[in-house]
Structure 1
Amino acid sequence: MPLLPDHLIAGYRNFITGRYVSESDHYRSLAREGQAPETMIIACCDSRTAPETVFDAGPGELFVLRNVANLIPPYEPDGEYHSTSAALEFAVQSLKVKNIVVMGHGRCGGIKAALSHNSAVPLSPGDFIGKWMSLISPAADTVAASTMMTTGERATALERISIRYSIANLRTFPCIKILEDKGKLALHGAWFDVSTGELWAMNKATGDFERPEIG
């Protein structure tokens, strides 16, 4: 039995003989000096929406946190295990990132599950996805009840609402709120369309999603 799947070995072979050769000095510098990314991306773990690919980022440029549906839970220092909060703490307090971007995307499976949670069958007895997506249950119930939108429109609406929700929850973390108020940390929202490759950014003043100028 192979140590790793063949396609991963092939991919690594291409990396170590290609990109690593041209960027080896940069990798050694990162290893020696550590990482210092200015931006943290909170994205979905969907395999189609890798932030490093969408933003054409090189090693050390982005600090990426990925989970189901790019959700941020509210600040809850209860002594339990909180992987998302731990990543936020490290990015803000240790790396001192200057930007946090919550990036949602079209055709999100987590959002689809949230919209159908009343009729969906859990994937396991633990129903971990159902519990996680219950973070946005009130919004999901409201959107799901709308008869004026199509299935696709409801999904897009909740995908974007969930981004605003996560940004609001980011501000429940004292360290984030303090730094944002001091102008040392900026919070952003973005939505990526897998089908068209379009990127939409949230207008901070209105909450609307708009296409950024890319020249």
Structure 2
Amino acid sequence: MEFTKPLPAYLVTRYHGWKATTYAENRAWYKRLATEGQRPRAMVISCCDSRVHVTSIFGADQGEFFIHRNIANLVPVYEPDGNHHGTSAAVEYAVTALKVAHVIVLGHSSCGGVQGCLDMCQGRAPELEETSSFVGRWMDILKPGYEAVKDDPDMPRALEHEAVRVSLRNLMTFPFVQGAVEAGELSLHGLWTDIGEGGLQNLEPGTGRFVPV
């Protein structure tokens, strides 16, 4: 393709370093993953933010997490309308094909997507209101969450937390998710991480509050 370019040199160097060390020292493990397929225990729905390093936070190895990333770690409601639904497809595959035991929604501090929703809801981002804005239309998922916390003085953190709650509620609109949860085959979890402090908070089942892990 005439519009593509060679891989940047620094990435080529890092790849060769990984192949000569990590891969070489664990060759049998990688071969096993390739031949036996993946059997992840959990699906993690995380933000695209490059500062959120899911595998590092939990010390996970290859094959342990089925990870899906999108803007603001959101899950839309179940809507089989024939349109493209990348997040819904990932959830369906994780739950029905891979049979993961856990689905974790991981939010984070200083989330640009959540800030965009906040700006949009408060009239400060007219560009996101345009029908041509993919980000704006994706953040429409979180608008009900804004209405729930709009009077909370701890913004945008309150909306970052609410993004996790919204996604968990939306997950339960998927029949195969609800069925697996009710059968005791799947558990849902809400987490929020503070990038600067390295903190991790868990959504308490009973109170709906986020508390330190």
- Same fold by TM-score greater than 0.5: yes
Name the structure 2 match of 1:119.
124
Q: Percent identity between the aligned chains?
A: 40
1:6 is displaced (CA, Å) by 2.0
CA distance in structure 1 between the partners assigned to 2:95 and 2:148 by the alignment:
33
Q: Which one of 94, 97, 113 corresponds to residue 94 of structure 1?
A: 97
Deviations along 1:28-86, whole A, 9 cap, x unmatched?
00000000001000000000002112111111000000000000000001111111111
CA distance in structure 1 between the partners assigned to 2:148 and 2:174 by the alignment:
26
1:139 is displaced (CA, Å) by 2.5
CA distance in structure 1 between the partners assigned to 2:117 and 2:36 by the alignment:
42
TM-score (norm 2): 0.92
Alignment RMSD (CA, Å): 1.6
Name the structure 2 match of 1:167.
168
Q: Which one of 125, 130, 139 corresponds to residue 136 of structure 2?
A: 130
1:121 is displaced (CA, Å) by 4.3
1:63-102 alignment, distance < 5 Å = 63-102=66-105
Name the structure 1 match of 2:192.
191
Instruction: Identify unmatched segments of 5+ residues in structure 2.
Output: none
Instruction: Identify unmatched segments of 5+ residues in structure 1.
Output: none
User: What amino acid sits opposite 1:157 in the alignment?
Assistant: A
Question: Is 1:103 aligned with 2:106?
Answer: yes
1:10 is displaced (CA, Å) by 2.1
- Contact residue 131 and residue 137 of structure 2 kept, 8 A: no
User: What amino acid sits opposite 2:212 in the alignment?
Assistant: R
Name the structure 1 match of 2:47.
44
Alignment CA distance shift 1:173-1:2 (3 Å): closer
User: What amino acid sits opposite 2:92 in the alignment?
Assistant: E
- Contact residue 115 and residue 141 of structure 1 kept, 8 A: no
CA distance in structure 2 between the partners assigned to 1:2 and 1:93 by the alignment:
38
CA distance in structure 1 between the partners assigned to 2:76 and 2:131 by the alignment:
22
1:142 is displaced (CA, Å) by 5.2
TM-score (norm 1): 0.91
User: What amino acid sits opposite 1:196 in the alignment?
Assistant: E
Question: Is 1:31 aligned with 2:34?
Answer: yes
CA distance in structure 2 between the partners assigned to 1:93 and 1:61 by the alignment:
17
Equivalent residue pairs, number: 207
Deviations along 1:59-115, whole A, 9 cap, x unmatched?
100000000000000000111111111111110111000000000000000000000
